[in-house]
Amino acid sequence: MRMSRLFSRTLRQAPTGADSKGYEYLLRAGFIKQLGAGIFSALPLGFRSLKKIEQIIREEMDRIGGQEISMPVVNPADIWKQTGRFYSIDKELSRFKDRVGRDMVLAMTHEEAVTALAAQEIDSYRQLPSLVYQVQTKWRDDPRPRAGLIRVREFTMKDSYSFDADHEGLVKQYERHYEAYFKIFGRCGLSVIAVGSDSGMMGGSVAHEYMYLSPIGEDTIIICDKCGYTANRQIAAFEKELFPEEMLPLEKVETPNTPTIKALAEYLSIPERKTAKAVFLMGTFTGEDQQEYQKLIIAVIRGDLEVEEAKLQKAVRAKELRGAADDEIRACSMEPGYGSPIGARDCIVVADDSVVGSQNLTAGANEPGYHLMNTNYGRDYEGITADIAAAQEGSACSVCGMPMRSSRGVEVGNIFQLGTRYSESLDCYFQDVEGKRKPVVMGSYGIGVGRLLACLTEEYHDGKGLKLPITVAPYQVHLVSLVKQGDEPEEIYKQLCDAGIEVLYDDRKDSPGVKFTDAELIGLPIQIVIGKRTLQEDAVELSLRGDGEKKLVPLSEITSVVQEHIRKLTEEITDSMVVESLPPSSP
């Protein structure tokens, strides 16, 4: 490709709103262009990288028996209503009506569509197991798009779906995906870890996320370096020290100006673990008539711990949560800053197991300036009991008891054991060997293609620009001509292309400084400079992006030398791959 004809241009300055270095360089190198909030066009360089990632995905999916299909991004809403997700997913699911008034949705994932398709194609155990996948556009109306392709509204995703006759078959396909994903990320050059995760809106019993650990990530990952336990904080379990005691009588005490746990503990000269903290949230639910309603939730947790909202949301099965306003709290007979479930009405009470297993805690008296000492779950109030506590840096591992650490991460892939949730809802059944009618057992598996490229640019850059691995770089060679006259540059370009080498040829009339700056910014793995002086020696100058070493290569050897570098750079990626198998003890 000649840069004089390239349908994009480089930028000298970072555009406004580029909130990460990888995103900045994708914009400045001319890989992508923003059209709207969370909506991007892939320009020729970015498009080539995305297609290389997709090809790696296709090869690994085909290797485990996947068959590629394509499903519509526009779905009739009826199938989403049958599974209940039309009602349970909030505004991220875009709904509209077609010209005759039928409800439609823009698919953010394709469990409904693929199950409806499988219901028409699968009717016998002889057709199982089966695995299909697609690489396709999705739409999720995310309220907070950020960091370029890290968090967008329109995105390209590889989503695959497995169909089995029983749970044992699902586990085998799940394990094959688990390993295939490490191969995919490894071939792209991205180091990831797999962590246990919440199945969220997908449903199912078991799920894992593949995390790229980076400060730009929005997820918090809890890691035990001793035994290897890893989990998203949304579900991470940890060992809580409990403090059982004989229950003492309730005692109301005056506690002026103590609306926080810290102020209360200091005023009463007690440790924060001796308090019961009340967290007030409004939950959105769907009633039996499919109408939404809201209800106050009071989460009660020991004062030395914090509530993990994802755990709480799952415990109460709410569509979404938001902070409760003071008047909403008072409407349920509780007082902001001095609240507790004792005497509360018309609300959902959820008690963390730290509160259930620790007695005589000090909680709010639902009266400004007063608290109740010696409150006890089961005697003074009741509700739902669940683990709703957030694991933190230093929390004790639930497996080995050692202190754990936390890290930020970006989710680049996920796998789910769905079971029969969707097949039962959409009548996807098969006849087993005995002629009995049974629901197909399903799994769902996704990789965000654009997000994967974004993470690669976060990992592979320096102060001058991108340094993408050769397996995903848009071209293998950046050919820079500093010669104003003569046919040699054209001949070298043709020679390399004829050998099947991917070349970006800078044939522009710009100055050497501009060309070198752009070459570093785009950051292709191999750079060849054709200069008047080197041509006098029948040679060109070759360097690898980022290593600083330049060497002269005779014109007669240039093709073979470049091919050898391509081979070595590719092997370096392959040799560094870490492929993990799913541990037998995984959830």
CA distance 558 to 528: 9
Q: What are the residues whose beta carbons fall under 8 Å from the beta carbon of 192, sequence distance 6 or more?
A: 181, 182, 185, 210, 211, 212, 412, 413
What digits encode the pLDDT tens for the residues 197-237? Answer: 876 655 566 889 999 999 999 889 999 999 989 999 998 99
* pLDDT for residue 72 is more than 60: yes
74-76, strands of its sheet edge to edge: 74-76, 103-106, 94-97
CA distance 332 to 5: 67
CA 13 from centre of chain: 29
pLDDT of 551 reads 94
* pLDDT for residue 585 is more than 50: no
pLDDT of 393 reads 93
Mean pLDDT of 156-161: 97
Mean pLDDT of 462-480: 97
pLDDT of 199 reads 63
pLDDT of 575 reads 85
pTM value is 0.87
pLDDT more than 70, % of the chain: 98
| Residues forming a β-bridge with 542 | 528, 551
* pLDDT for residue 16 is more than 50: yes
pLDDT band at residue 68 using 50, 70 and 90 as cut-offs: very high
pLDDT of 18 reads 86
Asked if residue 153 lies in contact with residue 111, where contact means CB atoms within 8 angstroms, the answer is no
- Distance linking the first and last C-alpha atoms of the chain: 49
pLDDT of 205 reads 67
* pLDDT for residue 584 is more than 80: no
Instruction: Give the count of alpha carbons within 13 A of 379, CB side only.
Output: 14
pLDDT band at residue 69 using 50, 70 and 90 as cut-offs: very high
Q: What is the DSSP string of 275-344?
A: BEEEEEEEEEEE-TTS-EEEEEEEEEEETTS-B-HHHHHHHHT-SEEEEPPHHHHHTTT--TTS--STT-
* pLDDT for residue 583 is more than 80: no
- The two three-digit tokens of residue 579, written as one number: 């492929």
pLDDT more than 90, % of the chain: 87
Q: What are the residues whose beta carbons fall under 8 Å from the beta carbon of 385, sequence distance 6 or more?
A: 350, 351, 352, 353, 356, 377
Count of C-beta atoms within a 10 Å radius of residue 264: 24
What digits encode the pLDDT tens for the residues 419-454? Answer: 999 999 999 999 999 999 999 999 999 999 999 999
pLDDT band at residue 32 using 50, 70 and 90 as cut-offs: very high
Mean pLDDT of the chain: 94
- The two three-digit tokens of residue 147, written as one number: 């960091």
Q: What are the residues whose beta carbons fall under 8 Å from the beta carbon of 98, sequence distance 6 or more?
A: 104
pLDDT of 547 reads 82
Going from the N-terminus, what domains does the chain have, and what CATH number goes with each? 15-72+111-228+406-458 (3.30.930.10), 251-386 (3.90.960.10), 477-574 (3.40.50.800)
pLDDT of 90 reads 84
Peptide bond into 512 cis (omega under 30): no
* pLDDT for residue 586 is more than 60: no
Q: What are the residues whose beta carbons fall under 8 Å from the beta carbon of 559, sequence distance 6 or more?
A: 495, 496, 499, 501
What digits encode the pLDDT tens for the residues 319-337? Answer: 889 999 999 999 999 999 9
pLDDT of 291 reads 84
